[in-house]
Amino acid sequence: MTRIAALALLVVAAGAPVTEAASPQTALRRDLAAAMRSAGPASGAYVAEAAEGRTFFADRSSTPRILASNTKLFVTATALARLGTEATLPTSVLAIDESDGKGVLRGDLHLQGGGDPTFGSRGFARRAYGRATGIEDLAARVSRAGIESVSGRVVGDESLFDRLRGTPATGFRSAGDIGGPLTALSYNRGLANEFGSAFQVNPAAFAAARLTAALEARGVNVRGAPSAGPTPARATVLATVQSPSMARLAQLTNKPSDNLLAELLAKRLSPRRSTGGSTAGGVAVMERFARRLGSRARLTDGSGLDRGNQASPRAMVRLLRELRARDEFAAFRDSLPVAGRDGTLRDRMRRGAARGRCRAKTGTLRDVSALSGYCQTRRGGTLVFSIIMNRTSPGGARNVQDRMANLMAAYRG
């Protein structure tokens, strides 16, 4: 090479542009986009900065998609907002006061359900929900009210809700996917025995029979056979037990993704009509609440079992971000599974930046997988995200979601 040619090469090299390293934000967007390339055309994702609400990443984010159990975000958010984080649901014993003053109640006892999904025997409630009270406590309170004998019977009252035992996904019939029959007087999740081998045919009469047995065990004689029916308007309350707080019920719904609790909460949200609270009524309340927060969804149940539950990732993020400004947000956030630690995320993201830093609701149907929630970044900020994948293999979809959550949690920008 001649000296002139060598000098020319040096000049060209000196004038060549230097490629700068990508910024953390650009790098994360690039990596999220790379992960979404394997998600398939029926999938979408949206990520926003929590503080300012600026779009951070979007991929087919405005198309409504099947939500699966991400639907539970709507029912728990609405229940916490409308009923209050400390609200409880009562199960009460009432009677028309015709006591003879000697411990004998002339007439019936009425066991009135208030929609508590955790009501049951003390042992079952402790194992299933960690609660300390059960039907035995209700019987003890009736006894302490001075009742020693009942001339009538115990009548179970489930009239707070309608009599449809299922949802649109089950043809409104009771089905195993829900986890029990839908009733305002749910006893041991509607199981006919504590082993769970069958469902109760008549939940109100079944619960009345259990209270009869609990009263007999306390020495209170009940002469009539248990039955079901409405409570007379002039009956007064003798004893009550309360559900866990609404904040706790939201946890019991979202962390394990409990379909029965979600559906009963949806009915409890329904306006009270002569026919009782309904799934359709509760869904309408949930949709209106979402619209007030600037989010739009088409909902058909509380659990997400029905494929008609649909919203876009962008709408999900809007809901999640707007909830952060509400008084009940801490209870809502605490209801979500924590990556690598509990609930439906216990065995996911056990390694990587997302562990303990991301809280999110899962959703799974046969060909649907979703993950929506919050990730705290390495710099202490928060990213709000929703990844909804349809026409996909749930196992492969979860791998994509976990990778994206780890990327968001590791962000240092």
Rounded to whole angstroms, the Cα distance separating 194 from 212 reads 18
Q: Which residues pair with 385 in a beta bridge?
A: 47, 373
Cα separation, 251 vs 245, whole angstroms? 10
pLDDT at 285: 97
DSSP state string for 244-297: PPHHHHHHHHHTTT-HHHHHHHHHHHSPP-TT-B-HHHHHHHHHHHHHHTT---
Domains, in order of start, for the chain: 24-82+251-409 (3.40.710.10), 88-244 (3.50.80.20)
For the question of whether the overall pTM of this predicted structure is more than 0.85, the answer is: yes
Contact 60, 43 (CB under 8 A): yes
User: What's the whole-number mean pLDDT along residues 40-62?
Assistant: 96
Which has more confidence, 194 or 351? 351
Number of C-beta neighbours around residue 281 at 10 A? 20
Is the distance from CB of 59 to CB of 36 less than 8 angstroms? yes
pLDDT of residue 397: 97
Name residue, tokens 């248990």: 226
DSSP string, 203-253: HHHHHHHHHHHHHHHTT-EE-SPPEE-PPPTT-EEEEEEEPPPHHHHHHHH
Instruction: Answer whether residue 342 shows pLDDT above 90.
Output: yes
Residue with tokens 């025997």: 121
To the nearest 10 degrees (0 to 180), the angle between helices 313-323 and 72-83 is 30
CB atoms within 10 A of CB 93: 24
pLDDT 10s digits, 99-135: 667 889 999 999 999 999 999 999 999 999 999 899 9
Q: Please report how many Cα atoms fall inside a 13 Å half-sphere around the Cα of residue 297, on the Cβ side.
A: 39
**pLDDT at position 306 over 50:** yes
Residue 7 banded pLDDT, cuts 50, 70, 90: very low
What is the spatial distance between Cα 405 and Cα 391, in angstroms, rounded to a whole number?
21
Give pLDDT, residue 274: 67
Q: Which residues pair with 58 in a beta bridge?
A: 46
The secondary structure element, H or E, covering residue 131 is none
Q: Is the pLDDT of residue 12 over 50?
A: no
Mean pLDDT over 199-217 rounds to 97
Please state, in angstroms and as integers, the Cα–Cα distance from residue 51 to each residue in 56, 336, 363, 376, following that order.
Answer: 12, 20, 26, 12
Indicate if the pLDDT at residue 6 is higher than 60.
Answer: no
> Of 267, 253, 243, whose CA–CA distance to 88 is shortest?
243
